[in-house]
Amino acid sequence: MHAERSENDSVLVGGRGGLGHLTLNRPRAINALDLDMIRALHLTLDRWESDTDVDVVLLDGAGERGFCAGGDVRALHEMVTGGRVDEVHAFFREEYALDHRIATSKKPVVAIADGVCMGGGIGLAGHAAIRIVTERSRLAMPETRIGFTPDVGGSWLLGRAPGRIGEYLALTGGTMDASDALYAGFADHMVPVAHLEALYAALENRADPSSPTELVLLFDETPEPSRFETAREWIDDAFSAADVPGILDRLRARPETEARETAELLAASAPTALAVTLEAVRRARELPSLRAALAQEYGLVLWFAFTQPDLVEGIRAQVVDKDRSPSWSPARLEDLPADRVAEAFAYRPEPALW
């Protein structure tokens, strides 16, 4: 198989020896996903599904800063503020279809979540058959920081993290290193950056042992214990409360400095995003499949995009104007309408996801 490129060069396509290699190629934007990239990835994966020359798919990102910083939220901001409803629908529908495609691929997908891997990057790497992190990996679902909610199947992963780690990560948007990602179930192996080239060569050459997992294990190293192992006590205690005000009360009552700092972070976050996200993770924990979680998320993200001012305001404050001073609506948890969460989950977008 020879190297080739997608039409806009934002996805590099190549590989050899039975290995199909896809590289996200917007390094200046830490490979943030736009619709053209999503379509290029999906098209190639569809083609390779029936290609007998391809046995394994390798997915990585160009540059040293990271695998993928997430979806292109600046473009999303422009779509929403410009009233381009059909484009918003198309972006999320096609992104989620790609995430599900990776999860259900007959050809195992090996994802290298080196460096930054957040939001939409988790959607790509988090559902791969073999999920690899490195010593410089930084994973997160930081959507609440822009007045939004974790999507791309993030709620499915968060709902299956140990204890209440999922609620903690979802509400805080906290960053995981390699140890944390392995502990929380967002990754399977830690391979040092120095070994990645050798791993790529092994996947191409397919020497014995021949399965991708066996090959990865040749380069896998055990990282230091995750900070979650010692933080589980206060995280599980606080984040098992019935609602966000209850979580805040418990955090403030804890002796740990980190618990009280977490309370301060949540108190400044978007009340709507926190309340909806808490319910989303808990509902996802009971859902039967990734597909069901994606369908739930699809309704929520469009509810945020089309009915709530917080998403546009959050992107403005964090990405567009970068003043880091969002004005949430409402600004205080005590002012959140009692039916706000129920309203979010009752929203039925047209067209539906599947």
Catalytic residues: 71, 120, 143, 151
> Which tokens is 4 given?
């080739």
CA-to-CA distance for 177 and 182, rounded, in angstroms?
9
Ramachandran angles phi, psi of 124, nearest 5°: -80, -55
Q: CA triplet 305, 309, 315: central angle to 5 degrees?
A: 75
Return the axis-axis angle of helices 290-307 and 85-103, rounded to nearest 10°: 160
**186, 166 Cβ separation under 8 angstroms:** no
**337, 275 Cβ separation under 8 angstroms:** no
- Name the residue type at position 35: L
Q: Please report which helix (H) or strand (E) contains residue 24, including its range.
A: strand 19-24
Q: Please report which helix (H) or strand (E) contains residue 264, including its range.
A: helix 257-267
